[in-house]
A and B are shown apart, each in its own frame.
Chain A
Amino acid sequence: MELSGLAGYLVFFLSTVSIYAILALGLNVQWGMTGQINIGIAGFFAVGAYTSAILTSAPNIEHVGGYALPFLIGVVAAIIVSSLIALLIGAITVNLRSDYLAIATIGIAEIIRFVFQNEDWLSHGVRGIADIPRPFYDGHGSGYVFLAVALVSVALTYFLVERARQAPWGRVLRAIRDNEDATEAAGKDVRRFRLQAFVFGSALMGFAGALYAHFIGFISPDAFEPVFATFIVWAMLIAGGSGNNKGAILGAIVVWLVWSGTETLVARLPAEFATQASSARVLLVGVLLEIVLLTRPQGILPEQQPKLIARKKK
Chain B
Amino acid sequence: MTDLLQLVIYGIVTGSILALGAIGVSLVFSILRFAHFAHGDLMTIGAYGGLIGVSLAGLSPLASIPIAVALAVVVALAAEYLLYRPLRTGSHTVILLISSFGLALILRSAVQLIAGPAPMVYRSGIQLPMRFGDIIIRPDHFWIIGGTIAIIIALHLFLTYTKFGKAMRAMADNMDLARISGIPAYRMIMLTWVIAAALAAVAGVFLGMDTRLHPVMGWRLLLPVFAAAILGGIGRPYGAIVGGFVIGISMEVSTMFIDPGYKHAVAFALLVLMLIVRPTGLFKGASI
Contacts and interface: CB of A to CB of B under 8 A. Distances in A.
Interface of A: 35, 37, 39, 92-93, 95-100, 102-104, 106-108, 110-111, 114, 117-118, 226-227, 231, 234-235, 238, 275-276, 279-280, 282-283, 285-287, 289-290, 293-294, 297
Contacts of B271: 103-104, 107
A291 to B, nearest CB: 10
Given A102-B97, A293-B87, A107 B113 contact: no
Contacts of A276: 112-113, 116
30 contacts: A35-B92, A39-B101, A92-B276, A99-B94, A99-B97, A102-B35, A103-B226, A104-B272, A106-B222, A106-B223, A107-B267, A107-B271, A110-B220, A111-B264, A114-B264, A234-B101, A238-B98, A276-B113, A279-B109, A279-B110, A279-B117, A279-B215, A282-B108, A283-B109, A290-B106, A293-B95, A293-B98, A294-B83, A294-B87, A297-B95
A131 B145 CA distance: 50
B101 A104 contact: no
Contacts of B262: 111, 114, 118
Contact of A108 (B101, B220, B268): B268
A103 B109 contact: no
A293 B102 contact: yes
Contacts of A100: 230, 275, 279
Contacts of B99: 290, 293
B34 interface: yes
A279 B275 contact: no
B113 A286 contact: no
- Residue of A108, A226, A286 most packed against chain B (CB within 10 A): A286
Contact of A99 (B35, B223, B267): B35
A37 B275 contact: no
A280 B109 contact: yes
A231 B101 contact: yes
Interface in B87-145: 87, 91-92, 94-95, 97-99, 101-103, 105-106, 108-110, 112-113, 116-117
A64 to B, nearest CB: 18
A290 B112 contact: no
B148 to A, nearest CB: 23
A310 B242 CA distance: 57
Nearest to A118: B261
Given A104-B272, A293-B98, A99 B264 contact: no
Contacts of A97: 288
B223 to A, nearest CB: 5
A99 B101 CA distance: 12
B10 interface: no
B37 interface: yes
A93 B276 CA distance: 8
A231 B265 CA distance: 22
Contacts of B215: 279
Contacts of A99: 29, 34-35, 94, 97, 288
A280 B110 CA distance: 7
A103 to B, nearest CB: 5
Contacts of A286: 102-103, 105-106, 109
A279 B219 CA distance: 15
Nearest to B107: A286
- Residue of A103, A106, A111, A287 most packed against chain B (CB within 10 A): A103
Given A104-B272, A114-B262, A294-B86, A227 B35 contact: no
A78 to B, nearest CB: 23
Contacts of A227: 105
Given A39-B37, A103-B226, A293-B87, A283 B110 contact: yes
Contact of A95 (B103, B116, B279): B279
A297 B92 CA distance: 11
A234 B104 CA distance: 13
Nearest to B264: A110
Given A118-B259, A234-B101, A107 B109 contact: no
Nearest to A285: B105
A289 B38 CA distance: 15
A290 B220 CA distance: 22
B262 to A, nearest CB: 7
- Cβ-closest 10 pairs across A and B: A286-B106, A279-B112, A279-B109, A282-B109, A107-B268, A99-B35, A283-B109, A289-B102, A286-B105, A118-B261
